[in-house]
Structure 1
Amino acid sequence: MKICIISFDYWNYDCHIVSKLREHAVEASHINMGAYKYRNFRERAFNACSKLLRGKNIKHVKRQEYVLESLAGLGHQDQILILNPHTLDRQTILAIKKFTNRLITYLYDNLDRFPVEGKLNLFDKIYSFEDRDVAAHGFEKITNYNYLNECPEPSQGATSDLFYITSYDRRRNKIVRKLAGRLASLDLKSKMVVVGKQIWKEKLRSMLFRPQHSCIELKNKPVYIDTVLEEYKNSKVIVDLMREGQEGLSFRIFEAMALEKKIITDNPRIKDYDFYDPQNILCINNDLSEIDNTFFETPYRPLADKIYKKYTLDYWVSQVFNLSNQQAKIALSTVH
């Protein structure tokens, strides 16, 4: 079986799907649009002028040409999965469809953030992590996945109480500042990192109004996932704050599951999932009054094996790609 993944792999998650498929003897390929680079300075300068004068991003066009050229080299695929199709034009998706018997997509952002309704009729199957979109459009519900190997908490030797990393977002930044004050009042050791090109706005705010808490770090350059995972391992609790309008579960929830870390979140829908345990997951309101030392002092309660396996990448690929029952059994048996 030949399967191709097409995505803009911002956080280096999608490559794990390819690796897992290869473990199941699938001839899997990954076309990462983020890998496209300008050929030279002249091309970069031309695109800058095009965006400024014509409002047209030539790099967006070149990335789609790169996808089709790569597919032409790979040949016909039994299945193609496009992750978040907002990165592709309708005509490009139509061209991609000619290369496969089954074209599917997974929406791990909600349609309010990336409206792609005009392209969805091109797909044979649509998966979504967002309950409201599933209910409104008849998509098939599937969560994000746990791509990590299980790493029990006692083996990690955590020395920090809490860690959080987020991209710049006005709503979440406001909660981060409030959370920092609450944690300081409880004498808890924490570290929170805010990353993004617009981080200068947060730095300006702290200069004009009130300095940031010492536990908050502002960075304008990306923090790589390996560094993030080491911070998670060094902490007892991980924070997960939603984007506005989001209800689906982020990858952070599943990373915490593999690392046996507790979660503090403002997503009340997490209580609807079978892995929810109030000893492991604390849902907060705007005033953060739910946060106290007790949550940090009680140990993580490991999940039942049956529940844990349900959210692994092994199970995810067997569901999304309709792998045979035999392959699915093999997949589940390899999870330790």
Structure 2
Amino acid sequence: MEKKLLFLSNGRYDLYKVFEEGFKKYSGCEVTTVLYKNYKYKNTWEKVQNFLFKIFLNKNLKKIKASEQNLYGLEDHYDYLVMISAELVLPQHIKKLTQKANHSVAYYWDSFDHIPAAHTIQYFDEAFTFEPKDAKDYNINLITNFYFHEKRVTDYDYDLFFLASYDSRYPLIAIIATALEAQNQKVVIKQYAETLPDVTDAPKSVEFIDKHISFNETKELMRKSRIILDIHKDIQRGLSFRVYEAMGLGKKLITTNPDIKDYDFYNPNNIFIWTPETKSIPADFLNTPYEELPEHIYKKYSQENWVKTLLNIKD
């Protein structure tokens, strides 16, 4: 009988689809996916009732009902439960979910400094994080991100691509974009914000957008670039998906995360670390081809290996 896997996640940027596809492809399980839901008031009375509960009982009925919805329509038994962003589900509902599975796993794709979620660790059989500091501080499993695109191209439309939310990283992004433009590199940088920022001196290569780019479109934009840019957040030390996507697509990487030197795939011919002292990218880095990694290292960071490690599946 085919094993069953219950996968719960938020739907942010459609990234859950990457995990869902990986579980379907590499776990050998029938996968049921549940995206966390928002609760909409049915009438004015529910809104008033929630207000009163928050004031007098310190309870948020809307949050309780939203969390409870994640249990609707599920079967009684699964072989695996995997939850991402478990902090979006109330503890009493996490307990009910874990009781439905032989083995429960939490994966934290944000650092706890960014998204407080450490309180949910206790409800799972195993917990994994990509953030080294969190793994050490909370005694949970460290697992890197992975690549999931492997279809390579040799004809490029531009030299460098970067897509991210508009936030405190922008000034550094502008500096890097300006430096690369001065080196005659064709750069495509898209910055997302719900409300377009009032920036009048942005580099020519930076475009501000107020609509999300689909996952498939982002994939194609990355594929058409020769180099991927990675600007890590100050509270983050673990390596982002961009690092591994560059690896999977055989592209060079410019990153601001100095910790990348500690990884076995680090190769200065493929990876340039931008520091506060950097003024430009060395011509040797820009003009030399990507150097392929040893096969065992390349496979180590594949989505297949990630899924099997998370679920403790032996070949």
Mean CA deviation greater in 217-226 or 58-67: 58-67
Q: Tell me the SS of whatever aligns to 2:13.
A: coil
How many equivalent pairs are there?
A: 308
| Cα shift at 1:289 | 2.5
CA distance in 1, matches of 2:253, 2:62: 39
1:254 Cα shift?
1.6
Work out whether 1:184 is the aligned partner of 2:181: yes
Q: Residue 12 of structure 2: SS of its match in structure 1?
A: coil
Counterpart residue number, 1:27 = 30
The alpha-carbon distance between structure 1 residues 107 and 180, as it changes in their structure 2 partners (threshold 3 A), is: same
Q: Against the structure 1 CA distance between its residues 233 and 57, is the aligned structure 2 distance closer, same or farther, given a 3 Å change threshold?
A: farther
| Alignment partner, residue 2 of structure 1 | 4
Which residue number in structure 2 is paired with residue 164 of structure 1?
162
Letter in 2 for 1:63: A
CA deviations on 1:177-228 (whole Å, 9 max, x unpaired) are 111221122121101111022x43x32xx24xxx222111001111112111
Tell me: CA distance 1:287–1:224, structure 2 relative to 1, closer, same or farther (3 Å). farther
**Alignment counterpart, residue 174 of structure 1, candidates 171, 175, 183:** 171
Q: Distance in 1 between matches of 2:130 and 2:229?
A: 19
Residue of structure 1 in register with 2:145 after alignment: 144
CA distance in 1, matches of 2:213, 2:5: 30
> Which aligned pairs between 1:250-265 and structure 2 lie closer than 5 A?
250-265=240-255
- Structure with the higher helix share, 1 or 2: 1
- The residue aligned with 2:213 is 223
Name the structure 2 match of 1:12: 14
Aligned amino acid, residue 15 of structure 2: Y
Preserved CA contact (<8 Å) 1:240 1:266: yes
CA shift, 1:165, in A, is 0.7
> Once the 2 structures are TM-superposed, how far is the Cα of residue 295 of structure 1 from its aligned partner?
1.7
TM value normalised by structure 2: 0.88
Q: After alignment, is 12-21 or 222-231 more displaced?
A: 12-21
Partner SS state of residue 249, structure 1: coil
How far does the alpha carbon of each residue in 1:91-115 deviate from its partner, in whole angstroms, 9 at most, with x for none?
2212212212222101111111112
- Is the 2:15–2:215 contact (alpha carbons within 8 Å) kept by the matching residues of 1? no
Kept after mapping to 2: 8 A contact 1:263/1:280 = yes
Structure 2: gaps (5+ residues): none
Aligned CA distance change for structure 1 residues 215 and 79 (closer, same or farther; 3 Å): same
For the Cα contact (< 8 Å) 1:47–1:58, is it kept in 2? no
> Aligned in 2, Cα 1:274/1:44: closer, same or farther, shift over 3 Å?
farther
TM-score by length of 1: 0.83
